[in-house]
Amino acid sequence: MCGIWALFGSDECLSVQCLSAMKIAHRGPDAFRFENVNGFTNCCFGFHRLAVVDQLYGMQPIRVKKFPYLWLCYNGEIYNFKQLQKQFGFDYQTLVDGEVILHLYNRGGIEQTASMLDGVFAFILLDTANRKVFLARDTYGVRPLFKVLTDDGFLGVCSEAKGLINLKHSTSLCSKVEPFLPGHYEVLDLKPSGKVASVELVKFHSCKDEPLHVACDTVEALPSGFDLETVKSNIRILFENAVRKRLMAHRRIGCLLSGGLDSSLVAAVLLKLMKEININYPLQTFAIGMENSPDLLAARKVAAHIGSEHHEVILNTEEGIQAIEEVIFSLETYDITTIRASIGMYLVSKYIRKKTDSVVIFSGEGSDELTQGYIYFHKAPSPEEAAEESERLLKELYLFDVLRADRTTAAHGLELRVPFLDHRFTSYYLSLPAELRIPKNGIEKYLLRLSFEDSNLLPKEILWRPKEAFSDGIASVKKSWFSILQDYIDQQVDDLLLEKAAEKHPFNPPKTKESYYYRQIFEKHYPGRSSWLPHYWMPRWVKATDPSARTLKHYKSATQE
């Protein structure tokens, strides 16, 4: 996990523009480099490093003797770099996994490069010999990337939008800073002036398609067919493989543990595999919540069962409320449910950074979208519509849960790993018949739970624990975290301000005092950038006015039984 930043065709002094690169210093607390591009005095790279692999040669931009005309700045982990080396006979000059990008590009161009990478990544690749700039981002946007391109060809690229919004340019202030789309690469021509022109934007991978890199995966062809035992076995094999490949690290590994199904499965499989490869330190697991919250109690049970070194962070209301502004600044969004859920994750990440030496942090993001874990899936009109909704949620992860998971951990210099979003695991799960994937017997994620029922990885009551949103599970059952936030915000926002909210904010107008409060903080830091959030996250097929699961009838009936 690092921070990348680059400019092409800057009219302003680079030493002044460089100050913008410092806005993402939190992403790489170990080192910083600023480098001009030979022959292009108005082009440069900035890089903040979190050293996770190859402590000696891991600085960027990466350049190797074999390809002196290639410059690479990337943020991510490429899990199959050794398999690719073996398959294609690449001669690596460093231990950095990202070096494979240079070799793949030299061998087969940008399309093959992006398609063959098994991992999470956002990168800027410069080819000065052919005068090309390439941008690319992984399928789910696990690693963030933003860009700004002016009409006259000035390009700015950064891991977070905050590194671009204050750039100076002769024709205008940089207006359209926007997220780079996941699963895409872009080709740009580099002119002698250092300016660029976009040639094409290409979608190289869709979540339903089996990725090209399966050809050199460590797990070979799986049994085909949709009989239940085969499917369950394949799910276990692929999920375990997803966790195993993510063990690649020279820094200590930890795991977020809410006590829900997803993080518990990740923690249990992770600990099992760490033992198998003789990692000689205990797995640290981390939970956050108010005293006796459902999450804390469940996480405690899981930690005892798997034998992790468990840490509990007690959240007090005041601390949570005080963190709102810095959380919104980190997130670069005003989405209601994202902010609610981020406060706990931001504070637990802060604890991990200050009190432990765990840096590589596993988490359960992506499972709810993939395995239909949200409570509103019980109301899906048909299995086919549920499958479509699952795909829509996966495509939008970069705006919501994946954004939350990246920014809250990166704010404290931690690197997140999310095995549920493994390309091969997700494409297999999405290839299963729609009927198999829906909630059954009133239980969401039924197939995933069933697949691990006989594994003894988790206590039965955890394996079958109903869905609890992270922002709700950290509070007590009697009073949700969202209602605690609303009570505080009610005192901060005048009724009259809310009445006029639609006039002030015609795009995504705030409908509640809570959303108005978040929007005001967002506009303070990112004025006029509301289009970064195309729409609020809300459940479907139900007449919901609030994104919390605790407001839905299914949750109420389950907790009242």
One-letter identity of residue 516 = Y
**What is the per-residue DSSP string for 471-496?**
HHHTS-SSS-HHHHHHHHHHTTS-HH
The helix or strand, by DSSP H or E, that contains position 499, with its residue range, turns out to be helix 495-499
Q: What is the pLDDT of residues 106-127, one digit of tens each?
A: 999 999 999 999 999 999 999 9
**Burial class of residue 100 (count of CB atoms within 10 Å of its CB; 0-12, 13-18, 19+):** buried
Q: Summarize the chain as % helix, strand, coil (round to 5).
A: 45, 20, 40
pLDDT at 316: 87
User: 296, 449, 305: which is closest to 372 by C-alpha?
Assistant: 449
pLDDT at 98: 95
Packing angle between helix 401-410 and helix 336-355, nearest 10 degrees?
A: 30
Cβ contact 467:374 at 8 Å: yes
Maximum separation of any 2 CA atoms in the chain, in Å: 71
The helix or strand, by DSSP H or E, that contains position 88, with its residue range, turns out to be helix 81-88
**Burial class of residue 120 (count of CB atoms within 10 Å of its CB; 0-12, 13-18, 19+):** buried
- What average pLDDT does this structure show over 31-56? 80
> Considering the chain, what is the average pLDDT of its residues?
91
pLDDT at 286 exceeding the cut of 60 = yes
pLDDT at 478: 63
Higher pLDDT, 557 or 24: 24
Banded model confidence at residue 215, pLDDT cuts 50, 70, 90: confident
One-letter identity of residue 217 = D
Is 357 known to sit in a ligand binding site?
Answer: no
Cβ contact 45:5 at 8 Å: yes
Helices (H), 312-400: 317-322, 324-331, 336-355, 367-370, 383-395
Dist. CA 285–CA 299, nearest whole Å: 9
Dist. CA 177–CA 146, nearest whole Å: 7
Is 373 known to sit in a ligand binding site?
Answer: no
- What average pLDDT does this structure show over 18-23? 87
CB-CB neighbours of 379 under 10 Å? 15
2 is catalytic: yes
Dist. CA 174–CA 166, nearest whole Å: 7
pLDDT at 55: 57
One-letter identity of residue 387 = A
Q: What is the pLDDT of residues 502-558, one digit of tens each?
A: 999 999 999 999 999 999 999 999 999 999 999 999 999 988 777 765 555 554 444
In order of their start, the domains of the chain are 3-203 (3.60.20.10), 220-551 (3.40.50.620)
Percent of the chain at pLDDT > 70 equals: 93
Dist. CA 500–CA 496, nearest whole Å: 7
Please count the residues of the chain: 561
pLDDT at 33 exceeding the cut of 60 = yes
Residue among 2, 158, 174, 255 flagged as catalytic = 2
Banded model confidence at residue 474, pLDDT cuts 50, 70, 90: low
Place of tokens 């690719």: 84
Percent of the chain at pLDDT > 90 equals: 78
Dist. CA 551–CA 162, nearest whole Å: 34
Higher pLDDT, 60 or 423: 423
Is 364 known to sit in a ligand binding site?
Answer: yes
pLDDT at 560: 43
Q: What three-state secondary structure class fits 374? A: coil
- What average pLDDT does this structure show over 183-188? 98
pLDDT at 376: 94
Dist. CA 530–CA 169, nearest whole Å: 22
**Burial class of residue 145 (count of CB atoms within 10 Å of its CB; 0-12, 13-18, 19+):** buried
Can you give the pTM of this predicted structure? 0.94
pLDDT at 109: 97
Determine the distance from the C-alpha atom of residue 263 to the mean position of all C-alpha atoms in its chain, rounded to a whole number: 15
pLDDT at 231 exceeding the cut of 50 = yes
**How is residue 59 written in tokens?**
């600085």
Banded model confidence at residue 485, pLDDT cuts 50, 70, 90: confident
pLDDT at 67: 97
Q: What three-state secondary structure class fits 53? A: coil
Cβ contact 362:419 at 8 Å: yes
Is 97 known to sit in a ligand binding site?
Answer: yes
pLDDT at 360: 96
Is 358 known to sit in a ligand binding site?
Answer: no
**Mean pLDDT lowest for which of 12-26, 123-137, 164-178, 471-485?**
471-485
CB-CB neighbours of 326 under 10 Å? 14
Higher pLDDT, 330 or 470: 330
- What average pLDDT does this structure show over 189-216? 95
The dihedral built from the CA positions of residue 120, 122, 128 and 133, taken in this order, carries a sign that is: positive
Q: What is the pLDDT of residues 288-308, one digit of tens each?
A: 998 888 889 999 999 999 999
- What average pLDDT does this structure show over 49-60? 67
**How is residue 442 written in tokens?**
């009133």
Dist. CA 557–CA 343, nearest whole Å: 27
- What average pLDDT does this structure show over 433-459? 96
